[in-house]
Structure 1
Amino acid sequence: MTDFATALTQRPVVLDGGLGTLLETRGNDVTSDLWSARVLRDDPDEVRAAHAEFVTAGAEVVITASYQIGFGGEIPDAEVEALLRRSVTAARDAGAAVVAASVGPVGALRADGSEYTGAYGLTLAELRDAHRRRLHVLADAGADVLAIETIPSPLEVEALALELAALDMPAFVSLSADSTGFAGRGALAAALREAASAPGVVAVGVNCCAPGSVLPALADAPDLPLVVYPNTGETWEAATRTWHGGAAPLADDAPAWVAAGARLVGGCCRSRPADIAAIAAAVR
């Protein structure tokens, strides 16, 4: 692909879909607190094969299986760096044109649903510490861009923006539009502007939200290429670790997202290769 940032100014670029969803569909157990990271640890070839399915479906950007991997989480710190690097290798070996190294919120490491609220009880300095080492490892692991995703609160956005200043690495920052950590559209818009101001950030937007939340979230977005990859509209219940409700066809809304400025478009939880193929056809 042309330089990633340049490509975003020229046309919509297609992201992949829900990696954990596809791994489960392929018969893998993703019910542990580690989700897809468990498969990456125990069967990296299976993660590579799942990435390859999305590439075949039309995804130009593949997001790594590092969302739940971080220092101070369930995985012993001695294993974390190797797994972060393995996540980039698995995506690269799947034939991805662009490898985006996933940096999930602190709540993803806790697996307690706090990634949808940002209610961690951590200070700005503690949030910066929680993200710093992982960011540096992934920036050095050979990815093309950092995918800072599903961030649920203004404070965590601020922490990540400050840490990005120390990295010479392009990134896109995607917020959890339905998070209770953003008290209304004004808070979300302010957080998008904060993210857009960070060095190296080439796109900002929203992910892991209902499709109907996308356009309101983008209404006051900064003048930067936008990233959009919602879930399929089903509702996640953290207590039972189950999804409820019906799925929406994401491709139906994709042209409207592009018209609103989205230049990175894909799917999050519950979206499968068929959804990505349909999105690719709709935006091209």
Structure 2
Amino acid sequence: MLSLTEQLNRGPVVSDGAMATELEKRGVATNSALWSATAMLDHPDAIQAVHQSYLDAGAKIMTTNTYQANVPAFEQAGIAAVQARQLIQQAVTIAHTARDASHVTDAVIAGSIGPYGAYLADGSEYTGAYQLTPSAYQDFHRERLALIMAAGVDVLALETMPRLDEVQALVQLITTTWPQQPYWVSFSIKDPQTLCDGTSLAVAAKWVAAQPNVVAVGVNCTTLENIAPALTTLKAAVAVPLIVYPNSGDQYDPVTKTWQETHLSHQFASFVPQWLAAGARIIGGCCRTTPKDIATVARALSVSDSAKL
């Protein structure tokens, strides 16, 4: 199987889309502090079905259902630590099973690592309104990372990261503990030039791009309109591959944990060509995106490849 870097050397790569949205369609409630990780308890078959739906749509990256899955969060929900650890590893196993069942042998499994702010379950991944010491960040992330690594992933996805200091602590932990492990970093942004914590996106991206084993850097879980100008910012700052996976256009309410449609809802496909033109090398979807959206990305990339022949 080709690594993600090898696939990127051949051309842009399609990533998957939202997990929670598709779980909800299958009758799984996700409006809790555990969010999509709730499905690990009673609906693992639904998680596998979602993975396979994205592979069928043309995705070549499968993101494990571990963004909000960490031992402290499970414990707060009344789940014993031993079972919590099993559930986190099961999420990786489900991704492997989905890949095997689909026969998409070149699909890359990305181990999702959400920020400390996601654990707070109060929308902090969109504000960066928290701060820990570097060692405290590492203590929080270490166990989940170790579990995911032991279960076997091809790349780590450090995603929806609103704070550069947390990314720096995480990357240091990864590069010292698993020095050969590839990863990407995808930031949560306030605007196309700025992380949620106020750090310059260009400065943050330059720091990431200088680290060992980084596969890509970019942004996710932001609005459709932010992607093209963010790509302009990133392309001017770094030479590593750029990854983007925005929301569908709907607006999230962190209090009610519900979504509202906006004037941009259902317009995902129309933005893809401009993201490609702006330099995106990995394109997927975040919250509220669907296999249909990912299929449009796959078609757009196919058209782009054909145009080069």
Q: TM bucket by the smaller chain?
A: over 0.9
- The alpha carbon displacement at 1:63 in A equals 0.5
Picking from 111, 124, 129, the partner of 1:114 is: 124
Moved more, 203-212 or 112-121: 112-121
- The alpha carbon displacement at 1:78 in A equals 2.3
Superposition pairs of residues 81-92 of structure 1, within 5 angstroms: 81-92=85-96
CA deviation map 1:170-192 (0-9, x unaligned):
11111112376242xx6111112
Q: Is the 8 A contact 2:12 2:301 kept in 1?
A: yes
Q: Which is greater in Rg?
A: 2
Moved more, 112-121 or 15-24: 112-121
Distance in structure 1 (CA, Å) of the matches to 2:41 and 2:231 = 36
Picking from 259, 275, 278, the partner of 2:296 is: 278
1:224 and 2:228 are equivalent in the alignment: no
CA deviation map 1:171-222 (0-9, x unaligned):
1111112376242xx6111112222222221111010000111122222321
- 1:178 is aligned to 190
Q: Give the letter aligned to residue 122 of structure 2.
A: D
Q: Is the 8 A contact 1:235 1:243 kept in 2?
A: yes
Q: Give the letter aligned to residue 17 of structure 1.
A: G
- Residue 198 and residue 41 in structure 1: after superposition, are their counterparts in 2 closer, same or farther (change >3 A)? farther
Q: CA RMSD in A?
A: 1.7
Superposition pairs of residues 115-130 of structure 1, within 5 angstroms: 115-130=125-140
- Give the SS at the match of 2:109: strand
Picking from 198, 206, 213, the partner of 2:219 is: 206
Residues matched between the structures, number: 282
Picking from 160, 163, 173, the partner of 1:163 is: 173
- 2:207 is aligned to 194
Q: Is the 8 A contact 1:161 1:194 kept in 2?
A: no
Distance in structure 2 (CA, Å) of the matches to 1:274 and 1:33 = 27
- The alpha carbon displacement at 1:228 in A equals 0.7
Moved more, 51-60 or 186-195: 186-195
- The alpha carbon displacement at 1:68 in A equals 0.6
Q: Give the letter aligned to residue 281 of structure 1.
A: R
- Give the SS at the match of 1:148: strand
- 1:153 is aligned to 163
- The alpha carbon displacement at 1:248 in A equals 4.1
Distance in structure 1 (CA, Å) of the matches to 2:138 and 2:58 = 35
Picking from 100, 115, 121, the partner of 1:105 is: 115
- 1:267 is aligned to 285
Q: Is the 8 A contact 2:217 2:240 kept in 1?
A: yes
Q: Is the 8 A contact 1:208 1:231 kept in 2?
A: yes
Q: Give the letter aligned to residue 4 of structure 2.
A: F
Distance in structure 1 (CA, Å) of the matches to 2:282 and 2:83 = 32
State TM-score, norm by structure 2. 0.86
Distance in structure 1 (CA, Å) of the matches to 2:91 and 2:190 = 27
State TM-score, norm by structure 1. 0.93
- The alpha carbon displacement at 1:279 in A equals 1.2
Q: Is the 8 A contact 1:68 1:109 kept in 2?
A: yes
- The alpha carbon displacement at 1:251 in A equals 2.1
- The alpha carbon displacement at 1:30 in A equals 1.1
Name the one with the larger helix percent.
2
Distance in structure 2 (CA, Å) of the matches to 1:242 and 1:15 = 24
Q: Which runs of 5+ in 1 are unaligned?
A: none
CA deviation map 1:84-131 (0-9, x unaligned):
211111111112611111000111112111111122232222112211
Moved more, 128-137 or 71-80: 71-80
Distance in structure 2 (CA, Å) of the matches to 1:140 and 1:41 = 20
Distance in structure 2 (CA, Å) of the matches to 1:198 and 1:83 = 31
- 2:69 is aligned to 69
- Give the SS at the match of 2:118: helix
Q: Is the 8 A contact 1:9 1:263 kept in 2?
A: no
- 1:55 is aligned to 55
- Give the SS at the match of 2:111: strand
CA deviation map 1:27-52 (0-9, x unaligned):
21111211111112222111101111
- The alpha carbon displacement at 1:13 in A equals 0.8
- Give the SS at the match of 2:10: coil
Q: Is the 8 A contact 1:162 1:198 kept in 2?
A: no
Distance in structure 1 (CA, Å) of the matches to 2:158 and 2:58 = 22
1:243 and 2:259 are equivalent in the alignment: yes
Distance in structure 1 (CA, Å) of the matches to 2:246 and 2:196 = 17
Q: Is the 8 A contact 1:178 1:213 kept in 2?
A: no
CA deviation map 1:127-174 (0-9, x unaligned):
122112222221221111111110011211211221121212111111
